[in-house]
Amino acid sequence: MAEAMGFGHSVKRKEDARFLRGRGNYIEDIKFPGMLWLDIVRSPFAHAKIKSINKEKALATPGVAAVITGADLVPYKLAWMPTLMSDQQMVLPVDTVMYYAQEVAAVVATSRYAAADGVAAVEVDYEPMTPVLDPHKALESTSPVIRADKQSNRIWHWEVGNRAAVDDELANADVVVAEDIYIPRIHVASIETCGCVAKWDPVEGHLTLYMTTQAPHAIRTVVALVTGHLGLMEHKIRVISPDIGGGFGGKVPVYPGYVLATAASVLTGAPVKWIEDRTENLQADSFARDYHIHGELAATKDGKITAMKMGVVADHGAFDAAANPSKFPAGLFSIATGSYDFQKAFAEVDGVYTNKPPGGIAYRCSFRVTEAVHAIERMVDVLAQKLEMDPADLREKNFIKPEQFPYKSATGWEYDSGNYKGALDKAKAMIGYDALRQEQKEKRAKGELMGIGISTFTEIVGAGPSHTFDILGIKMFDSAEIRIHPTGKVIARLGTKSQGQGHETTYAQIIAEELGIPEDDVAVEEGDTDTAPYGLGTYASRSTPTSGAATAVACRKIKDKARKIAAYLLEAREDDLEWEKGKFFVKGAPDRAKTIQEIAFAAYTNHPQGMEAGLEAVDYYDPPNLTFPFGAYICVVDIDRGTGQVKIRRFVAVDDCGTIINPQIVDGQIAGGLTMGMAPALLEEIVYDENGVNLTGSFSDYLLPTAVETPKWEMDKTVTPSPHHPFGAKGVGESATVGAPPAIANAVVDALSHLGVTNIDIPITPPKVWAILKEKGVAL
């Protein structure tokens, strides 16, 4: 029999077997007899009146079964749909197009090729309107209001902290620094795009929706809320999230294509598949960031930070369709106080409508944490530069100290645990920090440009406690249901949904650790709303903090019952039994023991009279607090004065995610996250022209890092377990994406700081750097 490994073991992934053989089951692999394909007519204008839509030629195209327009959806009240942010979003426009590449009509046909022919044959007559693209201008009183159903382009104003105290400190402090920092619109660009197969059964009135979703249960509830008036109730809806080819936040919201495929299946009575192509994906959905930040820090002249102020204009596009918890329209941006101890802080964010596709979803980040971390980590460097202090020393001087945890931040969070100096010391030692500073000095004297950048970030993940966190009112608990079969084998079902994180392996390891049952004996299932317990899904690094915790708690409930059965079998008192991984034994008599497998068999064959049969438990875990993973990253760059090219020479990442379940999987998450953090720092940006046309609609224009641009990451850990999580884990999927961009940006600015450069907005591309080198007279 295989051995139970549990925590700290790099158990090889159970899910690999099918992926290595091409036997994964992704959305596009799902097909049914008689299935139709849906394709979408998209707007060539960012803002336009629709004068007419002529379907005739499309309907005459061979293979085309139906053409759906906004007007067709109005009688069913489906032309608009609710967003996760309590806004409304057009499924299809009835009279006005709001952004470039917006869905305008849908064509359903017998093949993907016939559907594309149909799309080409739909004739739409537009009257172009001037788009509002600059969110600052959109807030001016003279700007046209772009949404006919709203009074203003300001979606909401959100603020936290004590403005008066902060303003007072800024007015009277020894030193004040201020900087404008723009974090541009980017795109998660998972290698699998979004899509679905909607299968309507008209006899049973039942919908099965196979869908690329990170949150199947929440989606089912939303679909029920949208279509309840049409008779489609939650018990008649089954959402199945199959294998997902990367999510990163882009597969949390509801996009019009999903609703259109569902409507088309109801209309035609056939299963309907919609798979967006890469251009549609890069132009119409899954957009993140777009934060215009003004940051200010106040400090004493010896470098003690005394106050922070952040003002943000957030471009959310034409519909507020992000996926933040309802009480946090700007996500968890209030973590912008970072790893530092000061008690005066104020942050405010204005969400703004513009004629762009909906933005503001996550890019492998827990609700705007990356924006917050980038802002504070850049500002700390700006302050160090002003004070002529080493940025490592300045950070150390201001760190929250280990003995201050749990630490109440100025914006209201209670940080659970941390040892920031421990992580920074380790990173400095790994990279040889002092020697690098010496080398930089020597290089600078020779005119060479070398920079060292630090990021000592704190994340806030694992949303979240139900007293504060909900999406559309649904509390953000998550779940595990564990059933032990008579032979001691296990089925575990969870409310989360892996998109590559390796849940089938790591959840099995939690069960192995808690119950001593080998990982090989555990089957893990997620993503089917008919079978899995309700949960809010996988994003915001929440799976281990919530469902992972639920798994441990459910195991402990099972163990409580197992103890009773073992006492009965061993004819001993429950108090006289001790647990050793995988078995109960009588104290002082280790040979009088019953394994968990023997106990499981007895639970079905020989359980005590009066006891309920079976051995299973379910837990809906409501975390008492969020978790606060952290890390210290140091990046060394060399800048080519001839081309402006930034080369990452070394990058050391010390992460602390608390207790580690599977070291190999954790390192895999961090290496992937670092690469996805480097991407927006150096390469990626969604660009619009003056007409609001997206110029970055392919991978030739929107540059993902390849193996060649990606440096060899140097990774290590410190371990500071979360005191409130059942086994001390904190979550790790997004740490590196959050922590890496400011380390890289700080390194580049550091290389140029002696020339008076204080900030460069990401992505730091060769043309951007070249322009600075030229302006400063150091270009070769």
Partner 1 sequence: MNVTININGKEYSDDVEPRLLLAHFIRENANLTGTHVGCDTTSCGACTVLVDDVPMKSCTMFAVQANGKTITTVEGLAQNGKLVPIQEGFHEKHGLQCGFCTPGMMLTSVAFLKKNPHPSEQEIRWAISGNLCRCTGYVNIVEAVKYAAEKMAEAQNG
Q: Contacts with partner 1 in 105-124 (CB under 8 A)?
A: 112-113
Residue 432 makes contact with partner 1 by CB under 8 A: no
Q: Contacts with partner 1 in 611-670 (CB under 8 A)?
A: 664-665, 667-668
Interaction pattern, residues 687-716, with partner 1; x per rule: CB under 8 A: -----------xxx---x-xxx-x-xx---
Which of 20/429 has CB closer to partner 1?
Answer: 20
- Rounded to a whole number of angstroms, the minimum distance from the CB of residue 321 to partner 1 is 22
Q: Which stretch binds partner 1 (CB under 8 A): 188-196, 333-341, 379-387, 681-689?
A: 188-196
Which of 328/507 has CB closer to partner 1?
Answer: 507
Enumerate the active-site residues. 214, 364-365, 734
**Quick one: which of 604, 566, 607 has its CA closest to 485?**
604
CA distance readout (Å), 510 to 144, 192, 482, 566, 710: 55, 29, 12, 22, 33
Instruction: Determine how β-strand 272-275 pairs with β-strand 36-42.
Output: parallel
Contact with partner 1 (CB under 8 A) among 2, 3, 8, 29: 29
Which of 117/481 has CB closer to partner 1?
Answer: 117
Contact with partner 1 (CB under 8 A) among 385, 440, 675, 735: 675
Q: Are 626 and 462 in contact (CB under 8 A)?
A: yes
Classified as helix, coil or strand, 558 is: helix
Rounded Cα distance between 507 and 552, Å, is 9
**Quick one: which of 474, 481, 485 has its CA closest to 528?**
481
Q: Are 9 and 519 in contact (CB under 8 A)?
A: no
Rounded Cα distance between 685 and 187, Å, is 8
Side chain identity, residue 274: W
Q: Which helix (H) or strand (E) holds 381?
A: helix 369-387
- Rounded to a whole number of angstroms, the minimum distance from the CB of residue 264 to partner 1 is 20
Which of 301/712 has CB closer to partner 1?
Answer: 712
Q: Which stretch binds partner 1 (CB under 8 A): 22-30, 352-360, 390-398, 520-528?
A: 22-30
Which of 242/488 has CB closer to partner 1?
Answer: 242
**Quick one: which of 369, 462, 454, 352 has its CA closest to 411?**
369
Interaction pattern, residues 237-266, with partner 1; x per rule: CB under 8 A: ------xxxx-x------------------
**Quick one: which of 349, 360, 289, 361 has its CA closest to 313?**
349
Contact with partner 1 (CB under 8 A) among 671, 693, 778, 779: 671
- Rounded to a whole number of angstroms, the minimum distance from the CB of residue 658 to partner 1 is 21
Contact with partner 1 (CB under 8 A) among 295, 537, 673, 739: 673
Contact with partner 1 (CB under 8 A) among 39, 87, 169, 192: 192
Contact with partner 1 (CB under 8 A) among 19, 164, 573, 587: 19
Which of 392/652 has CB closer to partner 1?
Answer: 652
CA distance readout (Å), 148 to 47, 88, 153: 13, 12, 10
- Rounded to a whole number of angstroms, the minimum distance from the CB of residue 199 to partner 1 is 18
CA 674 remoteness from chain centre: 14
Side chain identity, residue 225: L
Rounded Cα distance between 306 and 398, Å, is 10
- Tell me the two tokens of residue 114: 């016939």
Rounded Cα distance between 653 and 672, Å, is 12
Q: What is the DSSP letter of 411?
A: T
Rounded Cα distance between 238 and 143, Å, is 44
- Tell me the two tokens of residue 33: 């007899």
Contact with partner 1 (CB under 8 A) among 5, 24, 168, 397: 24
Which of 326/664 has CB closer to partner 1?
Answer: 664
Interacting residues toward partner 1 by CB under 8 A: 10, 12-13, 15-16, 18-24, 26, 28-29, 31, 112-113, 188-193, 243-246, 248, 277-279, 499-502, 664-665, 667-668, 671-676, 698-700, 704, 706-708, 710, 712-713
